Amino acid sequence: MNYTVIQSPLGRMLIATTDKGIAWLGFGDSDVQAIDEIRSDFADIELTREDAACTRYAKPLLAFLERKAPFPSLPLDVIGTPFQRAVWDELCAIPTGTTRSYGDIARRIGRADAPRATGAAVGANPVSILIPCHRALASDGSLHNYRYGLARKRMLLEIEGATFRAPRIQQSLAL
């Protein structure tokens, strides 16, 4: 798999591609952290740094993140279970600038009984941003769970102009 790591408004962004399209997209605070992230999903894959080969994908992503272009439509090459694919398809059906709860996504794919499994499928998304997992919120409309941190999720939703509530804060009990 070819990859590049570039600076973005969300930190170091790693884009990994095949001949068919983007197979992995994620973030880190450093190149090493971004590479560790892809390795957590693809431990045995051969990675070849090919900055030039990935530029055609990086440019529209950066333009979107810099608020200079609309949400990009890029070819993907992702693998998932039928359930994951159903969840990812539903995420892609959420219009830019809007959000849905994990439970609503579960209901829309005919699995109202599986909001937690839906959340797990959202979290297994290998191409952050392009399968817009950042548009999935808690049932109260607050930010909840994002592999790359809630600050990045908040920024993505702000770029899109989406409405959301502040993240839930867990309070510890004083003993």
Instruction: Find the domain containing 35 and state its range.
Output: 2-65
141 assigned to some structural domain: yes
Q: What is the pLDDT of residue 48?
A: 92
* Section 86-110 average pLDDT: 96
Q: Is the pLDDT of residue 160 over 90?
A: yes
CA distance 99 to 8: 23
86 domain residue, yes or no: yes
**Residues assigned a catalytic role:** 133
| Res 174: pLDDT | 44
CATH number for the domain including 104? Answer: 1.10.10.10
DSSP 45-112: ---EE-HHHHHHHHHHHHHHHTTSSPPP---B-----HHHHHHHHHHHHSPTT--EEHHHHHHHTT-T
Asked whether residue 25 is assigned to any structural domain, the reply reads: yes
Q: Give the mean pLDDT of 91-106.
A: 95
CA distance 27 to 114: 28
pLDDT, residue 94, reads 96
d(CA 13, CA 4): 8
1/13 Cα distance (integer angstroms)? 16
Angle of the 115-123 helix axis to the 82-93 helix axis, nearest 10: 80
Mean residue pLDDT of the chain comes to 91
